[in-house]
Amino acid sequence: MPQNFLSATILLILITDPLGNIPLFIASLAHVDASRRRKVILRECAIAFFTLVIFLFFGSGLLSAIKLSDESLRIAGGVILFLIAINMVFPDSGGKLVDEENGSEPFIVPVAIPLIAGPSAMTTVMLLSSTPGLGKLELVGSILIAITITTIVFFASSKLEVWLGKRFLSAIEKLMGLVLTAIAVDMLLGGISNYIATLRV
């Protein structure tokens, strides 16, 4: 698990995966008028930010209310991250987040949730909230940086897709997926080892 502000921020950027989400984002806004796109991007990114902040402050309390342990959350989070990472490395292995035939303007779904603030991001901020040495305000800063980067990438999405090319974006997404796979395995092993330690007590 990340132990400092920088590693937490990097993890959140990897999970929100702004570059890898460019094709899905462009597809979801394909039928939105060009004059509206800037406002839609700001709105959806703001919704994603506040969603993650809510999970940061209240997610652990919800888990306590339903009597879930930190170990089970870490293992579940590791599984989710692993599945997300596998889908990043092998894009054809998962379902589509965006219905390209939907002509309406996206609102919350699918851009804010789950494209930006998906299950993996929500689980991760809850895990980070219980990580020793990381304050809640630091984590809000990490979330803000990750969402800001996503916003900037989405603003430049059309140009980036032309300049970098779909193959380059796909290669970057696969690289991020490999890094995220290692993080997911580390999270899984940490959760399992902590659970085994509790059985010995």
Domain ranges for the chain: 5-200
> Comparing C-alpha atoms, which of 187, 179, 41 is closest to residue 123?
187
Q: What is the pLDDT of residue 97?
A: 46
Q: How far is CA 102 from the centre of its chain?
A: 23
Is residue 11 within 8 A of residue 183, CB to CB? The reply is: yes
How confident is the model over 37-57, as a mean pLDDT? 94
Helix (H, G, I), strand (E, B) or coil at 18: coil
pLDDT value at 95 more than 60 = no
- Measured CA to CA, the distance from residue 144 to residue 2 in angstroms comes to 17
DSSP labels for 23-60?
Answer: HHHHHHTTTS-HHHHHHHHHHHHHHHHHHHHHHHHHHH
Residue 100 clears pLDDT 60, i.e. is over it: no
Q: What angle do CA 54, 60, 62 make, to 5 degrees?
A: 85
Residue type (1 letter), 109: V
> Please, are residues 29 and 37 in contact by the beta-carbon 8 Å criterion?
yes
Which tokens is 92 given?
């054809």
pLDDT confidence of residue 96: 47
